Structure 1
Amino acid sequence: MSSPTEKAPTQETNEERTKNAPTPHNTDPPRQKWYQWFAPTDTPAERRLILKLDSLIIVFLFLAHWAKVLDSSATSTAYVSGMKEDLALYGNQLNYLNTVYMVGFITMQIPLTLAMTRCPVNYFLPAADLLWGVFTLAQYKASSVTQLYALRFFVGALGGFFFPAVQWYLGSWYKRTELARRGAIFFIASQVGSMSSGYIQAGAYARLDGRYGIEGWRWLYIICFACTIPIAFLGLCLLPSTPDKCNSRFLTEAEILLAQERMASEHREPRQPFTLPRIKTILKGWRLWILVSFAFFFSQADGVSSNSGLSLWLKAEGYTVENINTITTVSPAVTIVSSIICGVVSDIYDAKVALIATTACLNIFACIVLAIWNVPLGLKFFAFFLAGTANGIAAIVYAWANEICARSAEERALVISAMNTIGNTFGAWIPLFVWKTVDAPRYLIGYNWNLALDVCMLVMLFVLRYFWVREKRLGCV
């Protein structure tokens, strides 16, 4: 018999067992492998939803982006393929055509992207594509340069908002650990387009010139239209709207609810009324100004690969046209590979800062080599090709903007479109002073300018990181 001071043995409660249980050494969830499309934490339902979204969204966006690249080079190709003589384009009229196109491209990016946030995206994007195709086709009937001016403005306007609108749209469906890869797939469509457009246009002109009484240069616009319209109708059939107001015939109610829960877990807010107080709040915040400032340096830092330095140098060295066309395809190939690598690594390891910084350093090295110029032949080739990595971080930059502005759909739309607009605005006129044709093939000013941009981009990268880390520490995300 126990003494009065002794306590009778009691059964250990669940709470006590949990408290006394040994702490596991590793409680981190399993990390996704680089070759895995899904995260280990994704449920079977999530995996089915992601596959559906990729089939419905990514396929259309890739094809639509590829088709737009065809048009961006069609006018230059048409100019040297008979349009100049047929329409009596002399003096600076080709430059004026490009200027009018860029005016539409730049001025309508922000308004049309914001307009899309007020409309069902599954109708807005394909409808814009249809109109873009119609205006592209109308160029084949142009009989004067005045008509082309008007048409090029609308083509620029309807095509210009596509990139920022798509970045916003992807951010409405995908988690931050999925965005960079999808953005990379979308982005490399432009590189595939630039690699294939020359072959398509050359073949079309050779085989169709004079067919049915239509000059070869006019056929180029017909082909752009023929590529665009089926893709636009594909979008009308497939695209879902955004999760908050989704009316897709291919997604079940349970999948739409799951998509909404996924975005809620990311603090990705649905669309709200675009009121004046909301606009003032966005304008007073740091996100717009810091991200747009960063975008200025990032958007201009691809000057080595975008200003034909490699092709002009090869021509000056006496390479044949065939060899020049073959060698210059390496740069977009480097961009494609670096985009995929950056997208995968960014999603899996959340290594945006490290990837952006590494890419900037690689391009600083390339610019130093090219600025010196008198270097071994192999090193010069390496520098030109290495510069192709500059655009490999585009998907990461815009995925990060989606993450930073997650709490406001309207802020995401305004910031992303403003980032793209600032890049295109300065990119339209800075090359006239920095990448002068008379300096080719050794663009000494251009390579030093590009070097300075990469250094400034590194500085702004850590400024951006400081603000973002501070906001997360304060619990605002």
Structure 2
Amino acid sequence: MAPSPEQKHSKDSQFDQPAHELAPRQKWYQWFAPTDSPAERRLILKLDGLIIVFVFLAYWAKVLDSSATSTAYVSGMKEDLKMYGNQLNYLNTVYMVGFITMQIPLTLVMTRVPVNYFLPAADLLWGVLTLAQYKAANVTQLYALRFFVGALGGFFFPAVQWYLGSWYKGAELARRGALFFIASQVGSMSAGYIQAGAYAQLNGRYGIEGWRWLYIICFACTIPIAFLGLCLLPSTPETCTSRFLTPDEIQLARARMAAENRQPREPFTLAKIRSILKGWRLWVLVGFAFFFSQADGVSSNSGLSLWLKAEGYSVANINTITTVSPAVTILSSIVCGVLSDIYDVKVALIATTAGLNIFACTVLAIWRVPVGLKFFAFFLSGTADGIAAIIYAWANEICARSSEERALVISAMNTVGNTFGAWTPLLVWKTVDAPRYLIGYNWTIALDVCMLLMLVVLQRCWRREQRRPAGSGV
């Protein structure tokens, strides 16, 4: 008996629906999608163990070094090396010059060489140069060392974002990116305790001053992690020969990336560079990243700690209370990463976070509010960085069709953020304005408003790109 027109339409409409609407929805607490096969789940778990563990530990170790110089300066380095005037500022400036100028070149170099050797080797060299700082006899030697330490450490964040995009699907990236990103927050929370304990226990041991021990500890943390990377990291799927992945798993990884339109590495030709520069993706994503990267000024410019000090809180209480902000960043990063991957709500999460930051900065700009509300505003501002993993996961998705474009765009996004972050605080977060940074809080409100406007532009460009037939150009 032939089906009626109504039955036929109902049957056909099932196949007209997108696959993601027919498939069961992943729950927030599930690590795998319901559609992942057993083989795919085994592969994902292996990748998490081989990649995520290394990049988390390596990023954590780098945060120890970034705070070691300031700690060393007040722990005897100033006197031992006869530093005076603005030489600490010059040290930080030299570090940032290396950090900023080498991000794009080194990230692009990584697309040309085996990643599984390049990342750990750079980490190993970074550790050796960090150790060399403990032998510095004068500030001139430190200038040279800090430049190269900055160069080798600066490219790590964008390089890892590109690397994660070479292995993980779009619905997996934000969570992994969040786990990688929170290593910096864990590092900032633990660095003070590690360095304080090391100085108290090791100062003068074997005739070595306490501030020099700080660099030795950074080295001791880094070298085992670098060797772990050399042993575990796989290269990218198209060139992978990992001893921990079977040929079938490598082939499955390639198929997963092909299904995501994630293209393998190709020659970096002049024509490709021209194509990238002519397209919208580089300029819109870098513009968006500028506003995002500067909007975390409340937590990055010590407003909370300076306010607590002005209010007469003890040093112990200040150190304890200020750990809440990075804890909020960690929690918001995980929540945003999970929600983004499972429900694909990048735009809503970014807009919500910007709105929360606008509210927090409005409260702080008013300033004369109840103490409880002021605490809430300071802590709420910690959510500003919670969307970092989402933004870089989205960039991986948007630039999926060119591995080289992904590397260039992601590194440029991070470079622009660091470049402006190196000098804009001198204008809008002036120490003389502390703890009520009226200019800084209003500046952050303006940044978040502009980020919301850029979000509309980015979303429209991306939707237009998705409607465009494959192979129709930029």
TM-superposition CA deviations, 1:229-263 (whole Å, max 9, x none): 00000000000000011011100000000000000
Q: Give the aligned partner of residue 169 of structure 2.
A: 175
Report sequence identity in percent: 83
2: distance between equivalents of 1:467 and 1:22?
32
* Paired AA for residue 353 in structure 2: T
Asked if 1:88 corresponds to 2:82, the answer is: yes
Query: Displacement of 1:407 after TM fit?
Result: 0.0
- Does the alignment pair 1:188 with 2:182? yes
Decide which of 133, 154, 163 is 1:160's aligned counterpart: 154
Deviations 1:378-399 (A, max 9, x none): 1000000000000000000000
Alignment of 1:335 with 2:313, yes or no, is no
Alpha-carbon spacing, 1:213–1:303, altered in 2? closer, same or farther (3 Å): same
Give, in whole Å, the separation in 2 of the partners of 1:476 and 1:84: 59
Q: How does 1:224-239 map to 2 (within 5 A)?
A: 224-239=218-233
1:463 maps to which of 441, 457, 465: 457
Superposition pairs for residues 116-265 of structure 1, below 5 Å? 116-265=110-259
Which amino acid is the alignment partner of residue 88 of structure 2?
L
Aligned to 1:474: 468
Equivalent of 1:401 in 392, 395, 404: 395
1:379 aligns with 2:373: yes
> Cα distance, 1:24 vs. partner?
5.2
Aligned mates of 1:69, 1:196 — CA distance in 2: 10
Deviation at 1:475, TM superposition (A): 3.1
Counterpart in the other structure of 1:292:
286
Aligned to 2:262: 268
Written as runs of structure 1 = structure 2, the 5 A alignment for 1:98-117 is 98-117=92-111
The aligned residue for residue 8 of structure 1 is: none
AA aligned to 2:108 is L
CA distance in structure 1 between the aligned counterparts of 2:386 and 2:171, rounded to whole angstroms = 17
TM superposition shift of 1:23: 5.5
Counting matched residue pairs gives 464
State the distance in 2 between where 1:226 and 1:131 align.
13
Task: Give, in whole Å, the separation in 2 of the partners of 1:475 and 1:443.
Answer: 49
Q: Can you list the C-alpha shifts for 1:56-102, whole angstroms capped at 9, x where unaligned?
A: 00000000000000000000000000000000011000000000000
Counterpart among 350, 361, 365 of residue 355 in structure 2: 361
Match of 1:424 in 2: 418
TM-score by length of 2: 0.96
Alignment of 1:55-70 (within 5 A): 55-70=49-64
The Cα of 1:351 is off from its aligned counterpart by 0.4
Partner Cα separation in structure 2 for residue 406 and residue 365 of structure 1: 35
Distance 1:111 1:34 in 2: 38
Give the one of 27, 32, 43 matched to 1:33: 27
Return the letter of the residue paired with 1:402: N
Give me the whole-angstrom Cα distance separating, in 1, the residues matched to 2:152 and 2:241: 24
Distance in 1 between the 2:13 and 2:297 partners? Answer: 54
Displacement of 1:368 after TM fit? 0.4
RMSD across aligned positions (CA): 1.5
**Counterpart AA for 2:147:** F
Cα displacement string for residues 267-297 of structure 1 (whole angstroms, at most 9, x for unaligned residues): 0000000000000000000000000000000
Distance 1:301 1:403 in 2: 23
For residues 44 and 275 of structure 2, what CA distance do their matches in structure 1 show? 33
Unaligned runs of 5+ in 1: 1-10
1:132 partner amino acid: W
Partner of 1:345: 339
Cα 1:12–1:217 shift into 2, 3 Å:
same
Give the Cα separation in 2 of the matches to 1:383 and 1:420: 27
Runs of 5+ consecutive residues of structure 2 not aligned to the other structure: none
One-letter code aligned to 2:300: S
Aligned equivalent of 1:5: none
Other structure's SS at 1:32 match: coil
Q: Secondary structure at the match of 1:428?
A: helix
Distance verdict in 2 for CA 1:20–1:130, change over 3 Å: closer
Q: Indicate the SS of the match to 1:455.
A: helix
